[in-house]
Amino acid sequence: MASPAPQVQIIDKLDHTKQYIVTLHDAYPLPPLAKGNIRIRSRIISLTLNNFTYAQLGHVLGWWNVWAAIPSLPAPYDDPSKYGRISAWGYCEVTESENDKIPVGTQLYGYIPIGDYPETLQVVVDDETGHILETTERRAGLMHIYNRYQPSPPGVDPLSADRSSAAWDSVARALGETGYLLNRYAFGWDKTKVVNPSGASLPWSSDDADLTDAVVIFFGASGKTALSLAHQLRRARPTEHQPRKLVAVGSAKSRDFTEGTGLFSDVLLYEDLASGTDASIAAKLGIDANTKVLLANFSGRGTADQELRAALTRVSKSVAILMVGGDPTGNGSGLGNMPRSVLQCSASHLRDAALEMDGAAAFFENSAREWNRFKEDVAAKAMKLQWGKGLEEYSQGWDALCNGSVDPTLGLVYEI
Ligand SMILES: NC(=O)c1ccc[n+]([C@@H]2O[C@H](COP(=O)([O-])OP(=O)(O)OC[C@H]3O[C@@H](n4cnc5c(N)ncnc54)[C@H](OP(=O)(O)O)[C@@H]3O)[C@@H](O)[C@H]2O)c1
């Protein structure tokens, strides 16, 4: 029986809220695979604000170029100056293989296509970890985290073995690792292993990394990346190196959820900190001139973080600003409009440094342990999975996330 025509999500490169599900009627037959290559097909994909970042910054960081042009893509979507494809975290299956080390049926976790068009990967297998590394010239400029695929144990099907666990992996494992990397390395307590949040090429001292007795403010605290850092700071750090307070800042809509996680000392609204005198802001946050403050933005809404930053620097002698993600509408604070003093988080560069210091086997073992703790402590207790099926439902989820109507308790995940 002939396979049904595959579909892909196409995005307007200037406006990620305009997206199209395009059917590839002439996709088959696919060209033959070269020796060593594999073909993959997505099975579970996720949707969070992180996907919007891939579209908004794709032109700078190469995220529009992950997949080769599809010969059967119809006009006008075949114009790469206007349209493109990004990717999602999730699971895919190896459907064809010309690589002796990778059998057909292998299940991979990684950065995968949004659609069911089978894509070709040019790969090598890393001997130390068994991970599969993508080596195409087209992807050489991508940060390394996007070129690594982690196989499931042989015979384990993510859609049947432990479906919820695989779904949470898809929704938030990469985001959870960001929290782990920030806690363990960028703000680590082991003085021999501290790394600038942007990576090892920039200076960073153990004093910079020290969060002992600090106040950490999470702007956009209800998102999965923010929660993973809060969880790490509270549950995976020696007590004597813990911050004094974790303050969540968010919208009224996410307030109950954020409080319910039990991770934060205080939960404030964006508007609570957008105005007021320096003294009133200092009182709300419980800080004074000698308090070390870290203000971390995880795609919080608007520009209130900028006014807050100005107030904080007038109040405290020691303020660090960390940009993990910008306002998802593109109209507020963003990576592109921050002063040089703002620290930019790069999970991929942090991971590169961690692999160098700890070795790949130890790093992935530790990171997986911490991710499993997050799944048990936060995802399973405070959040719910919302499953969808197929690309049409994925595109409905995309629209809902664009118009801000997705409940913060949900992890959106799709069987493709
Ligand atoms: N730099 C790095 O290496 C790195 C690594 C991982 C993630 N990130 C970035 O971190 C940011 C957070 O990503 P995430 O995937 O963790 O986010 P997420 O889980 O999807 O965040 C959801 C929260 O974001 C807030 N939000 C703001 N605007 C929204 C909108 N239009 N629709 C829905 N929610 C909105 C909501 O909180 P409120 O209602 O309270 O505002 C919501 O609860 C992204 O910018 C991502 O790219 C960066």
How many whole angstroms from 203 Cα to the centroid of ligand 1? 28
Helix axes 360-374, 347-358, angle to 10 degrees: 130
Residue 340 has pLDDT above 80, yes or no: no
What's the pLDDT tens digit per position in 223-253? 999 999 999 999 999 999 999 999 999 999 9
Q: Output the pLDDT for position 246.
A: 98
Q: Would you kindly state where each structural domain of the chain is located, as residue ranges?
A: 7-161+386-415, 175-352
Distance of alpha carbon 185 from alpha carbon 197, whole angstroms: 8
Q: Residues 18, 55: contact at Cβ < 8 Å?
A: no
| Mean pLDDT (whole number) for 153-172 | 93
What's the pLDDT tens digit per position in 168-193? 999 999 999 999 999 999 999 999 99
Q: Output the pLDDT for position 379.
A: 94
So what CATH class is 175-352?
alpha beta
How many whole angstroms from 93 Cα to the centroid of ligand 1? 28
CB burial of residue 210 (10 Å; 0-12, 13-18, 19+): middle
What's the pLDDT tens digit per position in 198-207? 999 999 999 9
Q: Output the pLDDT for position 161.
A: 79
Ligand 1 atom 35, closest CA: 404
Q: Output the pLDDT for position 333.
A: 73
Residue 331 has pLDDT above 80, yes or no: no
Q: Which atom belonging to ligand 1 lies closest to the Cα atom of 346?
A: 3
How many whole angstroms from 223 Cα to the centroid of ligand 1? 5
Q: Output the pLDDT for position 383.
A: 96
How many whole angstroms from 190 Cα to the centroid of ligand 1? 29
Say if domain 7-161+386-415 classifies as CATH 3.90.180. yes
Helix axes 49-56, 390-402, angle to 10 degrees: 80
| Mean pLDDT (whole number) for 201-230 | 97
Q: Output the pLDDT for position 274.
A: 81
Q: Output the pLDDT for position 307.
A: 87
Q: Which residues line ligand 1 (CB under 6 A)?
A: 48-50, 53, 175, 178, 220, 222-225, 250-251, 253-254, 298-301, 324-325, 328, 345-347, 401, 404, 406, 408
| Mean pLDDT (whole number) for 109-127 | 98
Residue 334 has pLDDT above 80, yes or no: no
Q: Output the pLDDT for position 3.
A: 67
Residue 2 has pLDDT above 60, yes or no: no
Residues above pLDDT 90, as percent of the chain:
92
Ligand 1 atom 32, closest CA: 404
How many whole angstroms from 300 Cα to the centroid of ligand 1? 7
The whole-chain average pLDDT of the chain stands at: 95
| Mean pLDDT (whole number) for 376-382 | 94
What the block records as the tokens of 173 is 């494992």
Distance of alpha carbon 371 from alpha carbon 169, whole angstroms: 9
Q: Residues 69, 80: contact at Cβ < 8 Å?
A: yes
From residue 274, alpha-carbon distances to 92, 103, 214, 325 in Å are 43, 55, 21, 19
Q: Output the pLDDT for position 290.
A: 96
Give the pLDDT band of residue 332 (cuts 50, 70, 90).
confident
Look at 54-68, 85-99, 318-332, 347-361 and tell me which has the smallest mean pLDDT: 318-332
Ligand 1 atom 19, closest CA: 223
Look at 90-99, 111-120, 272-281 and tell me which has the smallest mean pLDDT: 272-281
Q: What is the 8-class DSSP label of residue 73?
A: P
Residues above pLDDT 70, as percent of the chain:
98
From residue 105, alpha-carbon distances to 54, 93, 94, 134, 158 in Å are 28, 6, 5, 18, 12
Q: Output the pLDDT for position 337.
A: 65
How many whole angstroms from 372 Cα to the centroid of ligand 1? 21
From residue 332, alpha-carbon distances to 303, 338, 378 in Å are 5, 11, 29
